[in-house]
Structure 1
Amino acid sequence: MSLIPSLRPGGRHGLSSRETRDPIGFAVAAVNRLAQSDLLDRVGLRRQAEQAVYSTTRNGFWAATAAGRTFARTGRRTAGARPASAAPRGVFDLTPTDDEAMLVDVATELAADLLRPAAAGADEACAPPAAVLAAALEVGLPGLGVPEELGGIMEERSAMAGTLVAEALAHGDMGLAVAALAPGAVATAIGLWGTEAQQQTYLPAFTGDDVPAAALTIAEPAVLFDAFTLATTARRDGDGYVLDGLKSAVVRGAEAELFVVAADLDGTPTLFLVESGAEGLAVEADPSMGVRAAALSRLHLTGVRVGADALLGDTDGTAYAECVRLSRLAWCALAVGTAQAVLDHVKDYVNERHAFGEPISHRQSVAFMVADMAIEVQAMRLLTWKAASRATRGDDVASAVGLARQLCTEKGMRIGLDGVQLLGGHGFVKEHPVERWYRDLRAVGVMEGAVLV
């Protein structure tokens, strides 16, 4: 392994307090945490034994949500904060910074050494292995969107770092990447739009050693679902709200302790914080065609009563619109990473597969198809990175995210299909991972929520 060793003893995660405040500190901290852990070595020897096989997920279940922890209402006694936007560089340059590049190296190694070997078993089990989730915590993924003032490891807004990490993890497996990034999506949402009281109450749990499972729930099981036309409703009742509805594609819903729920309030889509112990919540298994390793489920809300302090963000839809766009940007990043995995696998296959005495890559029809895949992956990456850089600077991202999502949806599915086609009969069997990647890539155009950068 080529992980960077701990720089010095003392300080948080092996760094001095001054170093953790430096911009590069969060990347070094992540490297150190993974380097000091024996998870990768241990899992490499007994991957199959550590598969978290949820037979109830395969066979279906209906149960109350996890009892969960009691989030401390006093929480951290520091003032609330918002992540600061990065200063513009003055030139059009999408080259990752040194700290972003270092963080990507860690995520890439994690994806190759842990996510990729565990992907097939997790897809079959419809659940992520505990070791994968533990490794995500070891490298500090839940704290990427949390300001340093609130215990996180970020000095400034870093949608670009989140995008790069999501892409790197998806190269290992999209489903496991979603499962690993889901708690961080909730933490990021609270950091961006939470009140001071909400940040003090919930964020300490996401920056400690015992990070709760959490889910950002926007999608609903409706034909041609529109994220801005929600069937789930919230109505004012006394000094609080009552939520009713059904949410789908809820990541690790059976074990989640905190939900960010999107609901219609007086005709405007709005976000609410709902703890798993609230009365009226129930979870139902919802295994899907793709992204199966994320343990997707449905969340039933029947007369769920929450306090006035459960409202996350504003009531005019501004925070919600930004949430949807940043979530779609995250899915674009996942599409880029998975599409790159397809391309890498196909290139090796067509060069090694022989027919009529020569590699099939010598045939123009095959070579041109692979070349088109490479062009499309680069186009997807360029538009996604451009949107992420605008989000990092705090600029309006509506148009940039829309363009990126349209291209990633269309070309991502095309790349997945071409990967299956180029492998012929091998593309139809589970011996090769392209059939799983094809199923995952089809999720990009229909998934809403779950992840956030």
Structure 2
Amino acid sequence: MSLLDTARNALNAGGRNGLASTERRDPIGLAVAGLNRLAGTDLLDRFGIRKQTEETVYRVTSAGFKTLGATSRVFARAGKATKGARPATAATSTGVFDLTPSEDDQMLVDVVTELADEVVRPAAADADTACEAQAEVLEATVELGLPILGLPEKVGGISEERTAMAGTLVHEALAKGDMGLAVAALAPGAVATAIGLFGTDEQQQTYLPAFTEPAGDTGVPAAALALTEPRVLFDPRTPQTTARREGDGFVLDGVKSMVPRGADAELFVVGAMLDGTPALFLVESGTEGITIESEPSMGVRAASLSRLHLDGVRVGAIALLGDPDGTSYAETLRLSRLAWCALSVGTAQAVLDYVTPYVKEREAFGEPIAHRQSVAFMVANIAIELQAMRLVTYKAAGRVAAGKDATREIGLAHRICTEKGMQIGLDGVQLLGGHGFVKEHPVERWYRDLRAIGVMEGGVLV
């Protein structure tokens, strides 16, 4: 039995509308499920408490839960604080503009595409409703090695050279199944990749074995890259979260928002201002002063987005990840935006693949609506803009893989994918008419997900 067959069987064991016996619902899902069942009886009217119950449902779904950080595994300190292993730069380009994936990249993309089609896509609607990714789906992505895709072989990864192009293709392929589940599955790999790119020997030997050689039943740890903050006109280059030096360590204060799988995460990479410059810090979830609050969102709901509160969180000298001059932070921000561009390309492709046959089969006034010029032009425009998004994203990824400065290219890709991605989602809903407004069709979910590209920072990393 193949990996995909195993994952499918485990997922289907819970039924379309049920939960697998091993699946853990978040507190919001359990509370709302219970209250909904209660609302279906006449008890509320009999005792005159229906209004109060409805208000409770509203408060629970809007405010969510608040809890301490997940109990972190013990990350054993090891090694010395010298420069760690880095992935090698990709082979020098011949100068020919060729976006054809290598044979290895194509094999990887084919496997991830099959996973997205046969496992991720069928699970997406339930995960969106429950605001949580199914354990079986996450396990399937771990089996494929996605959390260690960006790590060099020297530290237990699977890459011989910089994998920005392969990572971009994987993000795109997985998001074609569902962006929310893709973010949930790729979040631990973002932390591992950041440690592989910027970590010292001590940091890599302390934290990476949990990703490359998970022991027993603990598995690969949930982890999250936390850069976004909940404030108006947020600029990721100037976070309000602060880090001050104290003794031989640091004290962190602030709030991070839209953190993937925050309630389950055992390790965070947090962006904070240190001596007036943005820097990255490794923070274990069991550290005193950490509180996690659920953050129900419009889109990317399967990623279980959370708010991370840091109140006097004390970390050691090992916590500082990369250079304190802001270069590592800036590179992390750029690579995260590249990852979101790739996710938008995959989701936009899903929209195009769905609406194209729909407009050919849907009839109005005795003929397919695709015969209407306005409809045909809208579908064609989606295809044109999608190809533009893909080209600028691939070009940026190619420059990153070659070790070249890709600041301009990533900036262009992020701008185009933000604007055109949202437009493609909107057009997809429009093309389905009334069907685009209901959850029977997945396009409304893809539209909600595509709106995340312009507001999410961190979370994923190429």
Q: Is the shorter-chain TM-score for this pair beyond 0.5, marking a shared fold?
A: yes
1:83 paired with 2:92, answer: no
Deviations 1:259-309 (A, max 9, x none): 000001111110000001111000000011100000000000000000111
Q: Is the 8 A contact 2:10 2:136 kept in 1?
A: no
- Which of 372, 381, 396 is residue 405 of structure 2 equivalent to? 396
1:277 paired with 2:286, answer: yes
CA distance in 1, matches of 2:309, 2:273: 15
- Which of 122, 126, 134 is residue 131 of structure 2 equivalent to? 126
CA distance in 1, matches of 2:25, 2:369: 39
2:169 alignment counterpart: 164
Shifted more, 405-414 versus 82-91: the winner is 82-91
1:28 alignment counterpart: none
Letter in 2 for 1:42: A
Percentage of matched positions with identical amino acids: 69
Shifted more, 57-66 versus 270-279: the winner is 57-66
Q: Is the 8 A contact 2:393 2:410 kept in 1?
A: yes
- Which of 114, 118, 127 is residue 119 of structure 2 equivalent to? 114
1:42 paired with 2:10, answer: yes
- Which of 182, 186, 194 is residue 187 of structure 2 equivalent to? 182
Deviations 1:400-452 (A, max 9, x none): 00000000000000000000111110000000011100000000011000000
Change in 2 beyond 3 A, CA 1:52/1:118: farther
CA distance in 2, matches of 1:56, 1:201: 34
CA distance in 1, matches of 2:247, 2:457: 31
Residue 348 of structure 1: how far off its partner (Å): 1.2
- Equivalent pairs, count: 421
CA distance in 1, matches of 2:183, 2:391: 22
CA distance in 1, matches of 2:15, 2:118: 11
Q: Is the 8 A contact 2:93 2:402 kept in 1?
A: no
Change in 2 beyond 3 A, CA 1:52/1:115: farther
Q: Secondary structure at the match of 2:252?
A: strand
Q: Which runs of 5+ in 1 are unaligned?
A: 4-33
2:102 alignment counterpart: 97
Change in 2 beyond 3 A, CA 1:38/1:74: same
CA distance in 2, matches of 1:321, 1:79: 19
2:57 alignment counterpart: none
2:38 alignment counterpart: none
Letter in 1 for 2:106: A
2:327 alignment counterpart: 318
Deviations 1:70-118 (A, max 9, x none): 0121379x99310001012312111100000000001101111111111
Residue 387 of structure 1: how far off its partner (Å): 0.4
2:73 alignment counterpart: 69
1:409 alignment counterpart: 418
CA distance in 2, matches of 1:421, 1:342: 11
TM-score of the superposed pair, with normalisation by structure 2: 0.89
2:40 alignment counterpart: none
Q: Is the 8 A contact 2:79 2:201 kept in 1?
A: no
Deviations 1:206-240 (A, max 9, x none): 11241000000000001121000111000011111
2:39 alignment counterpart: none
Map of 1:173-212 to 2, 5 A cutoff? Answer: 173-209=178-214, 210-212=219-221
2:251 alignment counterpart: 242
Residue 52 of structure 1: how far off its partner (Å): 4.2
Residue 55 of structure 1: how far off its partner (Å): 3.1
2:26 alignment counterpart: 54
Q: Is the 8 A contact 1:213 1:256 kept in 2?
A: yes
TM-score of the superposed pair, with normalisation by structure 1: 0.90
Map of 1:319-334 to 2, 5 A cutoff? Answer: 319-334=328-343
1:150 alignment counterpart: 155
Change in 2 beyond 3 A, CA 1:129/1:296: same
- Which of 350, 373, 380 is residue 341 of structure 1 equivalent to? 350
Residue 53 of structure 1: how far off its partner (Å): 2.7
CA distance in 2, matches of 1:132, 1:43: 8
CA distance in 1, matches of 2:328, 2:393: 21
Q: Is the 8 A contact 1:75 1:202 kept in 2?
A: no
Residue 47 of structure 1: how far off its partner (Å): 4.9
CA distance in 1, matches of 2:412, 2:295: 30
1:383 paired with 2:392, answer: yes
Residue 44 of structure 1: how far off its partner (Å): 4.1
Q: Secondary structure at the match of 1:432?
A: coil
1:429 alignment counterpart: 438
Q: Is the 8 A contact 2:11 2:123 kept in 1?
A: no
1:140 alignment counterpart: 145
CA distance in 1, matches of 2:422, 2:252: 35
CA distance in 1, matches of 2:456, 2:260: 11
1:29 alignment counterpart: none
Residue 45 of structure 1: how far off its partner (Å): 5.1
Residue 42 of structure 1: how far off its partner (Å): 3.4
Change in 2 beyond 3 A, CA 1:261/1:432: same
CA distance in 2, matches of 1:426, 1:297: 31
2:428 alignment counterpart: 419
Q: Is the 8 A contact 1:52 1:128 kept in 2?
A: no
Letter in 2 for 1:171: K
Q: Name the Cα RMSD after superposition.
A: 1.7
1:12 alignment counterpart: none
Look at both structures and tell me which one has the larger radius of gyration over its CA atoms.
2
Letter in 1 for 2:323: D
Letter in 1 for 2:25: V
Q: Is the 8 A contact 1:55 1:125 kept in 2?
A: no
- Which of 262, 265, 269 is residue 253 of structure 1 equivalent to? 262
Q: Is the 8 A contact 2:84 2:198 kept in 1?
A: no
CA distance in 2, matches of 1:145, 1:244: 30
Q: Is the 8 A contact 1:218 1:449 kept in 2?
A: yes
1:306 paired with 2:306, answer: no
